[in-house]
């Protein structure tokens, strides 16, 4: 009877409520999952792209800018999925359905009701242009903020040592103010656009009432009543139509921010300045013969810092690069493992152009120990192996013993699992350099690139570094930017550079006997040191 019918209706209502709840949960979860999946995949793609960029890109682009592209901009793209795109698609489907119904009922009344729509389309176009420019300024300001904070936290010792806190705060406030201004311009444009939607709704309603009132004059009562009913239904339809339009207007800034961010992200992904790995040569053994053939190179195409560099090293030979600051020593070693493109000439290893080597094979066979040693946040073990699973703990310990660093590492809290601070700040310069020697030794390269430290190092570390240098160089072709007289004297060949050109080549004794450029350089830098020793 009636009770069964009421129970049945109640069950149906509860079922529909549960079904709606389930759909809402699924829809909310699906949009969030889709957004996070896109963010994850896109962030990995951008990071891989950044890792493959030529080093020249990092010389030209602030780190904070690339950080913003990889993190903040991609997060803005996620907002498109979470808060913008999916809800807008649903709203557009709703708008299409309502418009279809309105045209079906009375196409003339529909056109009159939507008479102000062209104005909304024009307003949307200008709003899009204005907001797009504003959001570009916002994203650029975010990049500047990230770069400034990252740079000044890294250089905090200098800021505090020179009592520059107030000046740097003022500079930060200036950048932060630009960020605020850019956001306010975007908010202003959005604040103007949103009321336009309301105006179009009001105009549409007014046009509909005017048309109905005009046509109702002299109309029979039955027809006037039908027209009134149609008006009421159209008024409800207009409100239903403009409800999703209001939502779209509200989400439009999210979409625009996401679109601006996506343009910036895809500029990174489409950047052609990458180290292209087209090489196929993959020898089992690299002997280590090195030949520079008339190599000219410049960080800018119109200004060479190296000019017609030409020299050859036999397997196992050591070349010491000497010269004043800015003579081109660092540029030579940067070209060996294809960190930069060579404009003219070629570099050959074992008589094969380095462009023909597979990139990973080339770089595995060239060990690098730089003057400015970079250690990552993480354990000593991770810093030495660079998370290479092929290198065992036993191999690391053996290499550390060869460099006389095993006992020192074992004295650290946790030994090889000791957590290194960012950039290795918890270790001394000498200790960081010795760890980089172990790192190079672990990869057992055929060719070694070594940039000796110029900074003062304690006597114990100095002796360990000299011994480690001898250990690393032994049996390997080595190119050393030499700052120690002992290294220069031991070199098989000294290459003297000045203003990007080779001035002289020979052994220590041969070059002194010439009484040329090297002899003058030696007299300025090393003669007093040798006399004291």
pLDDT tens track for 478-533: 999 887 777 888 889 999 999 999 999 999 999 999 988 888 888 876 655 555 45
How do 419-420 and 378-379 pair as beta strands?
A: antiparallel
Q: Lowest mean pLDDT: which of 2-6, 192-196, 263-267, 371-375?
A: 2-6
Whole-number pLDDT of residue 532? 47
With CA atoms as reference, report the closest residue to 483 among 274, 295, 378, 330.
330
Q: At 113, phi and psi to the nearest 5? A: -65, -30
Cα distance between residue 386 and residue 388, in whole Å: 6
Cα distance between residue 203 and residue 209, in whole Å: 10
Q: Tell me the pTM.
A: 0.69
Whole-number pLDDT of residue 80? 74
CB 275 within 8 A of CB 54: yes
- Rounded mean pLDDT, 230-245: 76
Reported as a single tens digit per residue, the pLDDT across 405-448 is 999 999 999 999 999 887 777 788 888 888 888 998 888 899 99
Average pLDDT, rounded, for the chain: 82
With CA atoms as reference, report the closest residue to 231 among 206, 215, 212.
212
Q: Which residue has the higher pLDDT, 297 or 522?
A: 297
Q: Which domains does the chain have, with CATH numbers?
A: 2-269 (1.20.1560.10), 290-532 (3.40.50.300)
Q: At 454, phi and psi to the nearest 5? A: -95, -20
Cα distance between residue 361 and residue 178, in whole Å: 47
């Amino acid at each position: 009877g009636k009770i069964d019918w009421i129970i049945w209706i109640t069950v149906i209502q509860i079922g529909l409520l549960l079904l709606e709840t389930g759909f809402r949960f699924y829809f909310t979860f699906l949009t969030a999952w889709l957004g996070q999946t896109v963010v994850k995949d896109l962030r990995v793609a951008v990071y891989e792209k950044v890792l493959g960029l030529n080093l020249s890109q990092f010389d030209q682009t602030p780190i904070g800018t690339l950080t913003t592209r990889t993190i903040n901009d991609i997060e803005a793209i996620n907002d498109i999925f979470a808060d913008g795109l999916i809800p807008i698609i649903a709203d557009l489907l709703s708008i299409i359905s309502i418009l279809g119904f309105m045209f079906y009922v009375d196409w003339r009344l529909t056109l009159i009701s939507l008479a102000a729509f062209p104005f909304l389309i024009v307003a949307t176009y200008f709003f899009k242009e204005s907001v797009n420019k504003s959001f570009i300024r916002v994203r650029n300001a975010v990049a500047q903020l990230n770069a400034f904070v990252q740079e000044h936290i890294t250089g905090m010792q200098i800021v505090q040592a020179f009592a520059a806190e107030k000046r740097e705060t003022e500079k930060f406030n200036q950048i932060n103010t630009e960020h605020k201004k850019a956001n306010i311009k975007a908010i202003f444009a959005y604040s103007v656009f949103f009321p336009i939607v309301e105006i179009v709704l009001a105009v549409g309603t007014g046009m509909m009432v005017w048309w109905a009132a005009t046509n109702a004059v002299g109309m029979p009562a039955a027809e006037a009543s039908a027209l009134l009913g149609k008006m009421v239904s159209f008024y409800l339809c207009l409100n239903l139509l403009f409800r999703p339009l209001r939502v779209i207007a509200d989400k439009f800034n999210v979409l625009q921010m996401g679109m601006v961010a996506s343009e910036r992200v895809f500029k990174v992904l489409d950047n052609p300045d990458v180290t292209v790995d087209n090489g196929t040569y993959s020898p089992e053994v690299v002997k280590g013969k090195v030949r520079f053939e008339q190599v000219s190179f410049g960080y800018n195409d119109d200004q060479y810092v190296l000019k017609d560099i030409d020299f050859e090293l036999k397997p196992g030979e050591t070349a010491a690069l000497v010269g004043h600051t800015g003579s081109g020593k660092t540029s030579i070693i940067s070209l060996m493992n294809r960190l930069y493109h060579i404009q003219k000439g070629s570099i050959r290893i074992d008589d094969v152009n380095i462009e023909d080597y597979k990139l990973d094979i080339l770089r595995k066979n060239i060990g690098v120990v730089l003057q400015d040693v970079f250690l990552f946040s993480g354990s000593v073990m991770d810093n030495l192996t660079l998370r290479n699973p092929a290198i065992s703990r036993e191999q690391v310990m053996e290499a550390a013993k060869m460099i006389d660093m095993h006992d020192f590492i074992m004295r650290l809290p946790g030994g090889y699992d000791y957590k290194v601070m960012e950039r290795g700040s918890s270790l001394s310069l000498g200790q960081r350099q010795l760890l980089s020697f172990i790192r190079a030794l672990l990869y057992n390269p055929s060719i070694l690139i070594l940039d000796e430290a110029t900074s003062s190092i304690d006597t114990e570390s100095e002796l360990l570094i000299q011994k480690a240098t001898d250990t690393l160089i032994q049996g390997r072709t080595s190119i050393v930017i030499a700052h120690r007289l002992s290294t220069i004297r031991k070199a098989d060949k000294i290459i003297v550079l000045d203003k990007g050109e080779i001035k002289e080549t020979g052994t220590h004794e041969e070059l002194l006997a010439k009484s040329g450029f090297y002899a003058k350089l030696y007299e300025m830098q090393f003669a007093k040191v040798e006399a004291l020793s």
